Amino acid sequence: MKALVYNGPGKKAVEERQQPDIAAPTDAVVKIVKTTICGTDLHILKGDVPTCAPGRILGHEGVGIVDKVGAAVTAFHPGDRVIVSCISSCGKCDYCRRGMYSHCVNGGSILGNKIDGTQAEYVRIPFADTSLYHIPGGAEEDALVMLSDILPTGFECGVLNGKVEPGATVAIVGAGPIGLAALLTAQFYSPAQIIMVDMDDNRPQMATRFGATSVINNKDGKAVDKIMTMTNGRGVDTAIEAVGVPASFITCEDIVAPGGIIANIGVHGVKADLHLERLWDRNIAITTRLVDTVTTPMLLKTVQSHRIDPKQLITHRFKLDRILEAYETFGAAAKTNALKVLIEA
């Protein structure tokens, strides 16, 4: 089968690999129908993720058809159409029993990282019963690829941790796919204002289409001043960090209102300053989280009922044998305006 393989920092190739097989009775093998590329894949390719060894097939998002199941798998059968969760969970360890699947001691964020991933024709999914989700008949599968990772990530790490409430003021710093996923799902709670901040010229326009009440291009570095003016000097109740660099986290520190929450989503590679000298008396909270994908079934229902349409995030489409082009397009998002690139196996 064809697969996209990480061959060490800066190196990737489409290679011919052997099809995966059942290795444990709780495994399933899934024939990938559609997959996509994530910012995390770019981090791995830069060499930022030491747990991912050269030779690894990348990818942790996708939908497919169950091809084979191990003897202990009871909830899925060959032929079932499924969403692959970016988090593999055993369902039995302490963390899983607390709904913290991301920290499963037997799984977690391992797909396309510690084990071979979804950017291939087939993938082996460990703990299939608790790591796959059934796709209802007639569902639009393009939209459901967004349920593997970005939609639950934006919702759980940004909206739920940020305790977005009716009438609240929300700022989302970073209008990439994850920031936009937070924007889509924040609207479940009817906040009064959702302010999107980005440095890109095109993304703020998309954000308006997706329901932002105002957009700020922070190229001039004046986003903090503008948000303070817009909120009568108060700041925002929820500041969602969706970039993963020190400047955007500090922007959140600067705009959070007394009693507010900074909900971090971004993957941070270097330290960001925490200005306690300004924040110690402001009754704020800071949250961090790796997506647990506990909300995937609920989000699936909202997509099915057309309450949200995550398909809007797909800007480009490729066949699997052209996945290198898909990476180029996704990696040059500022030029290509790419959000999510859909890859058909």
- Say whether residue 93 binds Zn ion (CB under 5 A): yes
- Say whether residue 90 binds Zn ion (CB under 5 A): yes
Centre a 10 Å sphere on the Cβ of residue 9 and count the other Cβ atoms it contains: 11
Pairing state between β 132-134 and 81-84: antiparallel
- Say whether residue 149 binds Zn ion (CB under 5 A): yes
- Say whether residue 87 binds Zn ion (CB under 5 A): no
Q: How far apart are CA 263 and CA 117, in angstroms?
A: 28
- Say whether residue 339 binds Zn ion (CB under 5 A): no
List, as one string, the DSSP characters of 79-97.
T-EEEEPSSB--S-SHHHH
E strand residue ranges, the chain: 2-6, 12-16, 28-36, 56-57, 62-69, 81-84, 122-125, 132-134, 169-173, 193-198, 214-217, 236-241, 256-264, 285-287, 314-319, 340-344
- Say whether residue 83 binds Zn ion (CB under 5 A): no
**Residue numbers 122-141 binding Zn ion by CB under 5 A:** none
- Say whether residue 96 binds Zn ion (CB under 5 A): yes
**Residue numbers 150-209 binding Zn ion by CB under 5 A:** none
Q: What's the min distance (Å) between Cβ of 184 and Zn ion?
A: 16
Question: Binding string to Zn ion for residues 35 to 74, with x set by CB under 5 A, is what?
Answer: ---x-x----------------------------------
Cβ nearer to Zn ion, comparing 154 with 191: 154
Cβ nearer to Zn ion, comparing 142 with 149: 149
Residues 89 and 107: beta-carbon distance below 8 Å: yes
The residue number with the shortest CB distance to Zn ion is: 38
* Cβ-proximal residues to 209 (8 Å cutoff; 6+ apart), any chain: 312
- Say whether residue 313 binds Zn ion (CB under 5 A): no
Cβ nearer to Zn ion, comparing 172 with 257: 172
Q: Where does this chain bind Zn ion (CB under 5 A)?
A: 38, 40, 90, 93, 96, 104, 149
